[in-house]
Amino acid sequence: MKILYQGNEGAYSQLAAVEIFPDAKLISCKTFEECFKKCIDDENLRAIIPIENSIAGRVADIQYLMNKYKLQIYAEHFHRVSHNLIARPGVKMDDLKYVRSHSQAISQCQKLINEHRLEPIIAADTAGSAKYISENQVKDEAAIASTLAAKIYNLEVLKNNIEDDNKNVTRFLFMGKKIKHPEFKKNDKFITSCIFKVKDKPAALYKCLGGFATNDVSLSKLESFSDQSSFEQYLFLCDIVGHIEDPKVQKSLEELGFHTLSLEILGVYDASKFRNL
């Protein structure tokens, strides 16, 4: 299996992929959109994409890419993220003026950044920040990245586990082009993900959600984002607790369809056991 991930070698997406598929061939991409586009062009490729973090919230632009490319979700994975402050060998904490990393990592480590009065530098990814420091021999700058990135780029860990909350978890989606979903079993737990656009009418969202309430179906996620061509109409990314072949979910989706301009099913997959912790 070939799995695409965004970032340089040592990225957290790579670590998450290894946890799920230790024997897969992992391929680095510069951007999230490159991951999506390559999967559309080759149905045999898969991508692992971070969608949200327990501290910093949603990962920017992913919902737009999900709507643009309509890749199917095959699985979800919750990855425990442990951030580390890493720098060139010999560099001490007192030498530092700047810290470089992805915006999500910067957001997740504010306590340390403020305590040491470091100036953040936003970069494309965490591992790429480590690579930059290694290649440019900067001595007043550190990166926030994984211990794997420190090892790959010959850097030293100045501080371990610097995230603001030790329950720092990122949810990843495992995605591809082919449409497939697991067999419905009544006692198993599933997630059905979709994107819909509400009609431009009063109480449209209220009416959209009414079917879930009357059919006793729970939602684990409901997130709005603007239609890129307009600020007047919004799209919603929705995770439904249940399988699309469950009669209750089917009735809810039928009701939803009456009040939407568009409705796209993005995948049906097993609910992660992490949800029960």
Based on the structure, what is the number of domains in the chain?
3
* 216 part of a folded domain: yes
CATH of the domain at 7: 3.40.190.10
**How many whole angstroms separate alpha carbon 125 and alpha carbon 102?**
5
- Cβ neighbours around 21 below 10 Å, total: 17
Interval 42-72: pLDDT, tens? 999 999 999 999 988 999 899 999 999 999 9
3-state secondary structure of 36: helix
Tokens 């919230």, residue?
57
210-214 mean pLDDT: 96
Q: Counting Cβ atoms within 10 Å, is residue 112 exposed (0-12), middle (13-18) or buried (19+)?
A: middle
**How many whole angstroms separate alpha carbon 81 and alpha carbon 79?**
6
pLDDT at 65: 97
- Pick from 176, 201, 221: which residue ends a domain? 176
* Residue 270 domain boundaries: 190-276
Q: Are both 62 and 95 inside the same structural domain?
A: no
pLDDT at 166: 86
Q: Are both 74 and 93 inside the same structural domain?
A: no
pLDDT at 230 over 80: no
176-196 mean pLDDT: 96
100-129 mean pLDDT: 95
17 and 175 in contact (C-beta within 8 Å)? no
* 164 part of a folded domain: no
pLDDT at 228 over 90: no
pLDDT at 222 over 90: yes
Q: What is the mean pLDDT of the chain?
A: 95
234-255 mean pLDDT: 96
Q: Which value, in Å, is the radius of gyration of the alpha carbons in the chain?
A: 21
Angle, in degrees to the nearest 10, between helices 62-69 and 32-41: 10
Return the closest-CA partner of residue 235 out of 208, 262, 253, 207.
Answer: 262
Q: Are both 15 and 74 inside the same structural domain?
A: yes
> Which token pair is 119?
């100036």
pLDDT at 233 over 80: no
The neighbouring-strand residues paired with 191 are: 241, 269
CA angle, residues 63, 64, 65, in degrees to nearest 5: 90
Q: Are both 207 and 255 inside the same structural domain?
A: yes
Q: Are both 111 and 128 inside the same structural domain?
A: yes
94 pLDDT band, cuts 50/70/90, is: very high
> Which token pair is 4?
């695409």
Return the closest-CA partner of residue 227 out of 249, 252, 247, 198.
Answer: 198
pLDDT at 276: 85
pLDDT at 24 over 90: yes
pLDDT at 277: 66
pLDDT at 98 over 70: yes
> Which token pair is 167?
């329950």
- Cβ neighbours around 51 below 10 Å, total: 21
